[in-house]
Amino acid sequence: MGRKKKDTIEYAEADLFKTLLRLIYAVFVIILLLFGYVALKEDIHEFLDRKVYSEEELIALNKRADARRMAQLEEEKWDKVVDGVHIRTGLHDDKDLQLIIGTCTACHSAKLITQNRATREGWHSMIKWMQETQGLGDLGTNEPIVLDYLAKYYAPKETGRRKSLEIAEIEWYILDLEEESSLQ
Ligand code: HEC
């Protein structure tokens, strides 16, 4: 009887020991998992917090990327010269173009220049007029360069003498007075 009791106690102790081992094992696994979590924390959160775009958002994002690309292309075109014409200003390309842009487009569009034609003297008097009445500053040593440019590309168009009318080629027509008056 006494022996049996001792066996039972030994069994119980062995059981307890096994349970303790399991507990230690479990704690070890938990600690391992914790270390793993700490090590991968950022990646895990990055994944969990990632932005999930809806289809509309993706389309909008694509459009925005396209717009940005177009703007970039425009930017590249900004100072492009095509067929001797500076696209942005419409001015004639030249080695002194940037000087002209800097000197002459601060107050008004370059259209005022491209729409005008004059001799060197004519341009000189326009510049003098702007200096006297519009607050254009002294151009200093740049003045002859500017005048050379203007006189070269914006000289008066070759007009010459007007060709005499060839009478025979004119298509005469009779003014229909009745129709004219009916219009009134
Ligand atoms: C300080 C400002 C200013 C600067 C810089 C300037 N202009 Fe002007 N310019 C004016 C003003 C103001 C007018 C009158 C605009 C208007 O009538 O709408 C004018 C008018 C003109 C006209 C039209 C004249 C006319 O008779 O219709 C021409 C051409 C012109 N500018 C050329 C030039 C050139 C070339 C340069 C560079 C050398 C230049 N401008 C720089 C202020 C300026």
Residues 102 and 74 in one domain: no
Residue ID of nearest Cα to ligand 1 atom 29: 113
126 close to ligand 1 (CB < 6 Angstrom) = yes
Task: Decide if 179 is inside a domain.
Answer: no
Number of domains in the chain: 3
Residues 64 and 40 in one domain: no
Task: Decide if 175 is inside a domain.
Answer: no
106-126 in b/e form (b: 16+ CB < 10 A) is: eeeebeebeeeeeeeebbbeb
Residues 93 and 109 in one domain: yes
Residue ID of nearest Cα to ligand 1 atom 24: 126
φ, ψ (nearest 5 deg) of residue 85: -115, 130
Task: Decide if 35 is inside a domain.
Answer: yes
Residues 42 and 98 in one domain: no
Report which ligand 1 atom has the smallest distance to the Cα of 100. Answer: 37
Task: Decide if 39 is inside a domain.
Answer: yes
- What pLDDT score does 168 carry? 62
- What pLDDT score does 165 carry? 60
| Long-range CB contacts (within 8 A, 24+) of 60-65 | none
- What pLDDT score does 177 carry? 67
Residue ID of nearest Cα to ligand 1 atom 39: 104
Residues 87 and 146 in one domain: yes
Residues 89 and 148 in one domain: yes
Residues 88 and 149 in one domain: yes
Can you list the residues of the chain whose pLDDT is less than 70? 1-2, 159-173, 176-184
- What pLDDT score does 153 carry? 96
Task: Decide if 18 is inside a domain.
Answer: yes
CB 123 within 8 A of CB 154: yes
109 close to ligand 1 (CB < 6 Angstrom) = no
Determine the angle formed by the axes of helices 120-133 and 142-153, rounding to 10 degrees: 130
Q: What is the pTM of this model?
A: 0.59
91 close to ligand 1 (CB < 6 Angstrom) = no
Structural domain for 64, as ranges? 51-82
- What pLDDT score does 97 carry? 95
- Per-residue pLDDT of 67-103, as tens digits, reads 999 988 887 777 888 899 998 899 999 999 999 999 9
- Could you tell me the sign of the dihedral formed by the alpha carbons of 142, 97, 114, 157, in that order? positive
